[in-house]
Amino acid sequence: MKLQPFNIHKGVVLPLDISNVDTDMIIPKQFLKSVKRTGFGPYLFDEMRYKDKAEYGDDCTTREINPSFILNENRFKTASILLTRENFGCGSSREHAPWAILEYGFRVILASSFADIFFSNSVKNGLLPVMLSKEKIEMLFEITKKKTAIELTVNLPNQLIFSDTLNIKVPFEISSQTKNYLSQGLDEIASTLKNADAIRKFQENRFRDKPWLNKNPSEVIK
């Protein structure tokens, strides 16, 4: 699947000061009725975001908003970088979680740790999960408390989070494979298909050199 390549992103930071955010909090189970990858953004953090209940397909524009939930504050309406705490994305392995986060408009998540499957699902869908030390996460939370809203730039090629106006420079680590997938907008299948010609050539040579491999198993037994 071809994804939107990720290189440099600048956006408003939403500080979600909650640890152990599980996938049911991100996108509750009643909305997992489609595998189209779209239509989940309006239900992101549904049980915290709204006061009423809904099902997949319901119109969220008429629902009762929870004004105390940070995602509903006007200053964060355009947020595209999610700042949160440890163990983000724990719980079930639903791929709908990164789908909902991306469709809402987030491109980056900053946390001190992620659930392994959520991390993998995020990368496969073009969402950048950045793992920082607890000290760095705390520092960023402290800065958000002093400002109405802050903007950060996330530079994937240089592996750096920064803000010139706030004098912030935070380097981060990421595997070369993950970096390659995100920067090229690839998942594992798309990455493999880049070598389709070489794979096809290998198959042709293998069947030429070992023709019995291309036969029906029942014919080989005979």
Are 170 and 199 contained in the same domain? no
User: In this structure, what token pair is assigned to residue 136?
Assistant: 């760095």
Q: Report the pLDDT value the prediction gives residue 175, as an integer from 0 to 100.
A: 95
Lowest mean pLDDT among 14-28, 65-79, 203-217: 203-217
Are 207 and 163 contained in the same domain? no
Are 80 and 166 contained in the same domain? yes
pLDDT tens readout for residues 109-144: 999 999 999 999 999 999 999 999 999 999 999 999
DSSP symbols for 181-212: HHHHT--HHHHHHTTHHHHHHHHHHHHHH-GG
> Distance between CA 121 and CA 118 in Å, rounded?
5
Name the domain count of the chain.
Answer: 2
Is residue 218 one of the residues assigned to a domain?
yes
Are 41 and 89 contained in the same domain? yes
Using alpha carbons, select from 110, 108, 115, 109 the residue that is nearest to residue 87. 115
Are 107 and 145 contained in the same domain? yes
User: In this structure, what token pair is assigned to residue 194?
Assistant: 């880049």
pLDDT tens readout for residues 10-58: 999 999 999 999 999 999 999 998 888 899 999 999 999 999 999 999 9
Are 158 and 216 contained in the same domain? no
Is the CA virtual torsion 210, 213, 219, 222 positive or negative? positive
Residue 221: pLDDT band (50, 70, 90) is very low
Are 66 and 88 contained in the same domain? yes
More confident residue, 153 or 217: 153
Is residue 145 one of the residues assigned to a domain?
yes
> Distance between CA 96 and CA 32 in Å, rounded?
7
Is residue 91 one of the residues assigned to a domain?
yes
Residue 39 belongs to domain spanning = 8-186
Give percent of the chain with pLDDT exceeding 70: 90
> Distance between CA 100 and CA 94 in Å, rounded?
11
